Structure 1
Amino acid sequence: MRIAIMGSGGLGGYFGARLAQGGADVHFVARGKHLEAMRSQGLRIEGPEPLHVKDVKVTDRPADIGEADVVLLCVKLWDTQQAIEQLRPIVGPRTTLISFQNGVLKDQTLRAAFDARQIMGGVGYVATTIEAPGVIRQTGPMQRLIFGEFDGSRSPRGEALLAACLAGGIKAELSEHIQREIWQKFVFLVGLSGTTTTMRKTIGPIRSNPQTRAFLLDVMREVVAVGRAQGVDLPEDFADRAAMERADNVSPDMTSSMHHDLERGNRLEVRWLAGGVVELGQAKGVPTPLNRAIHDILALHAEGGPHA
């Protein structure tokens, strides 16, 4: 199975390394110093389960890969359109595309560019950071990939990717309810990213203070309301129970990648997270005042700038 990893940062680099370790024919797309280091030193994963993929197939020219069986889209959301244009030469009529990006708008973008029958849904869970060019550090034990057909079927292509993931030691699942899985992550992610970035704190103090805890919960309740209005099979009390339970069980030092991006002066994914909730809520007449507040508060930082 020839797998192209479009975006070889924390998520794409980590899972791509595991797939390569398991014997899949993995081709990474990277750039800059990360690309140079992967070419000269391979790709190293540090953390709970370290590994070193010495012979890495990596390029900054996706067209050099040839037609892929599977493309895993792992770039930041603001790079999606550029990535789509770059990967067109490697997408053939039998190529499967799966976005493991954040949010729920990502698959709409793929469907606008490719045949919807080529697209599967995906959710990725892993805490990583690029420690140095060619080196990805896993900062917690959790790693998980969930993917599936949007019609709920267990397809041969899904089974083949599942086998490749399991061979590489990835905790993978072929889901028959992938749309719900995507939204379940979205609920927590919007709450985590919105609160940690606007308050510039980790989750610990936010969940411990009664006022900020209530804000976090209400942000996530808005996401659930929008998802249910969109026809997603989310329990009405998902924010109160499952999402808050997760917020209470993660490390108090946990924060969001958007918070890190703000501190580093990078662009923010807020347009597709809190902003996505607002957009989808407006389409269904669901009020989302707290997510609008987050989107508005971060508007001046959305395109990046001096370190916050």
Structure 2
Amino acid sequence: MKIAVVGAGGVGGYFGARLAKAGCDVTFVARGAHLAAMRDKGLRILSEGGDIHLDSPKLVERPEQLSPVDLVIVAVKLWDTEQVAASLRSVAEQGAAVISFQNGVAKDEILAKHLPAESILGGSSFISAFIESPGVVRHVGALQRLVFGEYNGQRSARVEDFLDACQRAGINAEIHDDVRRQVWEKFVFLVGLSGATSAIRQTIGPVRENPRSRAFLHDLMRETVAVGRARGINLAENYADDRLAFCDTLPAGMTSSMHNDLERGNRLEVAWLSGGVADYGRELGVQTPRNQAVADILAIYAQGTRR
């Protein structure tokens, strides 16, 4: 497959490198110091599952510079989605499928404002990975999974082709026949993980071990389930219990990308995560006090603190 990866950070860098190593024709869209380092020394993935080094990855600075491709993976931070979506119109109109592995549930709604509806696939990524230094992506733990599918539930040739590419690359991947629900299932977990680890400033291990912080984690997810159900998403009423049990299976040192960004003084995605849950709750008349608390606690850090 010819694949473009827009955003070569933790998600895009890791999965893009694996696909490239397996023989896919992958072009990364990157910028700044990360782009410069990859041009100079290549892209290096440090992972317990095996390190990867792409000596000379294919790189461009802007999506408009892409040649025709089969698939575009969007992996930028959420605040860049609008701009990236607009820049992908040409490549999508040439027949490329576009799949976002970003956080949150608003991502595909933003893509649909700019791209043909038939070009958009739904998807979620499950991984703890981040840019450790320019040109270097660190993967923490063993979890590395992609779930994706057509919004109409069909197993199309393009999702089958992408599944085959992922499997050849050693990526744990699957096609889902109700991808809208699946994106919300990921959202429930992500809101809990990101909100708890960032507000408490700890990895998942200490959070889940203390009874009060464990209850806080559970409440963040329970409120998200209630909002999703109010929006018509087919989530089980006790789905937060399932996700809390899943949190117990994670490595104690695992954290969220938002917690990593907070520690590094970077801008945060809180407005689309706990803040998004609180906004949806107000619109729907669903109480979300725990998520509102996270949004309030992190408000002064939301734009980043690095000088």
Q: Which amino acid aligns with 1:248?
A: D
Unaligned runs of 5+ in 2: none
Contact preservation (8 Å) 1:68, 1:92: no
Identify the range of structure 1 (248-257 vs 214-223) with the bigger mean alpha-carbon deviation.
Answer: 248-257
Per-residue CA distance 1:6-35 (angstroms, 9 max, x = gap): 000111011111111222111101112221
Query: Aligned residue for 1:248?
Result: 248
- 177-186 or 35-44: which moved more? 35-44
Letter in 2 for 1:58: L
Q: CA deviation at 1:68?
A: 2.4
Mapped to 2, the partners of 1:73 and 1:232 lie a distance apart of 24
Report how far residue 98 of structure 1 moved: 0.6
3-state SS of paired residue (1:91): helix
Percent identical among aligned pairs is: 53
In the other structure, the counterpart of 1:198 is 199
In the alignment, residue 110 of structure 2 is paired with which amino acid? T
Shift in Å, 1:222: 0.5
Q: Which residue of 2 aligns with 1:177?
A: 178
Amino acid paired to 1:192: L
Instruction: Report the secondary structure of 1:249's partner residue.
Output: coil
Contact 2:4 2:26 in 1 (8 A): yes
TM-score, L = length of structure 2: 0.94
3-state SS of paired residue (2:110): helix
Quote the residue 1:56 is aligned against.
Answer: 57
- Residue type of the alignment partner of 1:102: N
Which residue in 2 is equivalent to 1:285? 285
What SS class does the counterpart of residue 26 from structure 2 fall into? strand
Deviation string 1:257-307 (CA, Å, 9 cap, x unpaired) is: 111211221111010001111222233222212111211221121111248
- 2:162 maps to 161
Aligned pairs for 1:246-285 (under 5 A) are: 246-285=246-285
Alignment partners' CA distance in 2, 1:118 and 1:178: 15
- More deviation, 171-180/265-274: 171-180
Query: Root-mean-square deviation (CA), in Å?
Result: 1.6
CA contact (8 A) 1:67 1:89 kept: no
Change (3 A) 1:228 1:177: same
- Contact 1:62–1:89 at 8 Å: present in 2 too? no
Tell me, what secondary structure is at the counterpart of 1:58?
strand
Taking the aligned partners of 1:82 and 1:238, their CA distance within structure 2 comes to 34
